[in-house]
Structure 1
Amino acid sequence: MYYLGIDPSTKCTGYCVMDEKHDIIESGKIDIPKTGTEAEKIYYQLELLEPLFKKYSITKALCENQFSKLNVDTAIKLSRVSGAVLYLAKKYDVDVELIYPTSWRKVFHGSGKAKKEYTFDKVVALYELEGLKFSKDNDLTDAIGICWACVDLSKEGAAA
């Protein structure tokens, strides 16, 4: 069983594929080109995310949802990226949910109030990742945290 966590962005989208033991199978970042139309940028992300759906039999996916403190323009752009992820999940018949940062952080940290820095530090320590810098790699570490929550929430659902 494989799980997918996605931290969508208009600048850098993080993703992670994990198995049921929380082992990272594949993870990375998609640096979005600075030029091009919004449609071209979303298409670019889909072209790089779709192979994950093809390569792995994804059981469930979690994609971070936008929170209301964003400015309206940013929220709209991020919702379009999330919508594209929902499309891919449907195309490959993968159960997908949008999850707020406080919800996945509660699963990963035990507190929904945990800061991005805490996720970065915990992921780096858990997976012994070296050479990462918070300022440029937090999309990756958030995606790993989201994927971890996806695994745990799936186990809870299976136990219910």
Structure 2
Amino acid sequence: MELILGVDPGLTRCGYGLITGNKAIDYGHFTSSPTQDPRDRVGSIAESLNQIISVHKPVLIAIERVFAQANLRSVMGVAQISGALMALAFKHDIPLEFFTPSEVKLAVTGSGRADKVQVSEMVKRTLNLQETPKPADVADALAVAICASKRAQGLGTNAQQKWVAAAKSANRRLG
């Protein structure tokens, strides 16, 4: 089976999860302090992600797409880590896939409107983990990897597969 790295990007806390099939290989999170210089915060998390990529050599990196929130500072941190991860994917020549929170929830729970508790529980069950991964950013990163794994295997109905293909095509046109 091929290794997939899922990332829930964040500047204060960035979750990651490596899976192969229905098995978690490694997962955790990196943190940075709001009192640190932004350059150091992004650089530190990027270097930690680079080490994970260098050691495990995933065949795909999956990331949760930034969506508009009321908290602009939070959105900026997510965007900064996402950009750093895009650069790492380029550096290591690894494909990068973006998924919306609804796509991830749908792939993991069967409902695009599932709450965090439902997603965490299904991650635990899907990967046969003894405990729910914590903090929630870690469970979210594993959920992103599960979503990517299912999409890569072409799972879902014909309609779902066509919708995903159309969404990806539209994203390529929009940048």
TM-score calculated relative to the size of structure 1: 0.87
- Give the AA of the match of 1:76: M
SS in 2 for 1:3: strand
Match of 2:71 in 1: 71
Match of 1:53 in 2: 53
The number of aligned residues is 154
SS in 1 for 2:26: strand
Q: How far has the Cα of 1:25 moved from its partner?
A: 0.9
- Could you tell me whether the CA contact under 8 Å between 1:4 and 1:150 is conserved in 2? no
Unaligned residue ranges in structure 1 (runs of 5+): none
Among 123, 145, 148, which residue is 1:147 paired with? 145
Root mean square deviation of aligned Cα: 1.9
Q: How far has the Cα of 1:75 moved from its partner?
A: 1.5
Match of 1:8 in 2: 9
SS in 2 for 1:156: coil
Q: How far has the Cα of 1:81 moved from its partner?
A: 0.9
Identity %: 22
Match of 2:19 in 1: 18
- Give the AA of the match of 1:58: P
SS in 2 for 1:10: coil
- Give the AA of the match of 2:57: S
* Residues 114-123 or 140-149, more deviating: 114-123
Report whether the alignment pairs 1:129 with 2:127: no
Equivalent-residue separation in structure 2 for 1:8 and 1:129 (angstroms) = 25
TM-score calculated relative to the size of structure 2: 0.80
Report whether the alignment pairs 1:138 with 2:136: yes
